[in-house]
Amino acid sequence: MPAAPPLPPSRYRDTDPLAVWGFVTALLLWPAGLVLSYVALRRIRRSGDGGWGLALAGAAISTVLAVLSAIGAVLYLAGSGPPGQWQRDAAARGDAATVRSVTQDVASDLTGLREDDGAWPANLREVAQEIGLDDDGAVRDVHVEAYLDGDALCVEGTLETGSGAVLASYADGEHRADVGCADRGYPVTLHTAAYRAEAAGEDAAHEAALTESRERGEAAAAESSVGPPKDLGLLGTPTVDLEACAVLTGNLAHLDDPAVRAAVGELFAAEVEGQGDLDMDNAAYSLSERTAEADDPSSMYWLGVLRARHSCWHGGYAGPGDPPVFPTSWTIPVTQEEVDADRALRDAIAAGTADPAAVAQDRAEANQEQAEIDAILAGYR
């Protein structure tokens, strides 16, 4: 029998790869899954390949997820306000981030400076260039201030915006929004802390100068020309005059030190203070109130020194050391007649009836006295 003809080969349809990928990506990334699945459906319709079900499932899943995403976006936008509010919220987040960055950067810079110098700077102005501060005390429009609590640093930043101010602070590695350094327990600024430290140092130095000047005065009193009872002998004046004169005499060699000058002025004025019999109020005023002028040898302070020494000498006090030098006119006794004549000349000068020769003589004597005073004071410095 003749052999039977062979059967036609079976035809198997290959699954379209896009159908597979569309189904897989629909579960992972629905926009890609949606595109791939719809492309696969079109290709399968033309080619007759398999995978129609997979592509249809991928398209369905992607479509459902797209609808759910759209509903979620609508709900989110409805809850977050209109677009203008979104912009304001974004700007607020940007402002807060700027303040945070600035406060952290400034704190880091100041800490580095302290490590280099061994101490915090007195204020931000001293290191403005190094930490990026502009003339208004701001970094990137954020106004900056630094506070201290003992030796701990806190940097506070404030950014003024159209809707208000953004406040934040940074300390000990922690950033806090809407809270300033004072509310975090940092009581003083860098400047205030430095001022207090300086004032405390000045107070301590002043107290030390007072103690040393007082001790020198006591030593001068012990070596003075007058023994117990402690008075000035010739006039029988009270102890207060001896102590005032001794304070000045004992510290004459140290008056080049501003701290000693201030201490002597304070001690001398406290001793005089309207007491005693030597009438040294004018000298006490010059010594206590004119200390700041003492860098000028012709200042009222040094004239006060000369007047005080003359009052002490005139009262009989001779302290240790060389005898003082005074203008000639100060050492000549003045009679009551001379006092009356001088008063009459002043009145005549004021009235415009004074004798020109008498006025000329008076001016010559005054110029001579001033020249002697200037020469004496020049030796005091």
Look at the chain and count its residues. 381
Backbone angles phi, psi at 8, to 5 degrees: -60, 145
Give the pLDDT confidence score for residue 238 in this predicted structure: 57
Residue type, 162: G
CB-CB neighbours of 86 under 10 Å: 12
Chunk the chain into consecutive blocks of 10 residues (it has 381) and report each block's average pLDDT, rounded to whole numbers. 53 71 80 82 80 81 85 71 63 86 92 87 83 84 90 91 87 91 90 80 86 89 62 52 84 88 86 71 80 73 88 79 85 85 90 90 91 87 62
Q: In this structure, what token pair is assigned to residue 336?
A: 């009551």
Q: In this structure, what token pair is assigned to residue 11?
A: 């035809």
pTM of the prediction?
Answer: 0.51
CB-CB neighbours of 151 under 10 Å: 9
Is the Cβ–Cβ distance between 85 and 49 less than 8 Å? no
Give the pLDDT confidence score for residue 233 in this predicted structure: 45
Is the Cβ–Cβ distance between 322 and 379 less than 8 Å? no
CB-CB neighbours of 282 under 10 Å: 15
Residues linked to residue 50 through DSSP beta bridges, in sequence order: 15
What is the Cα–Cα distance from 212 to 251, expressed in whole angstroms?
9
All residues at 6 or more sequence positions from 142 whose CB lies less than 8 Å from its CB, including other chains: 98, 99, 102, 103, 157, 158, 159
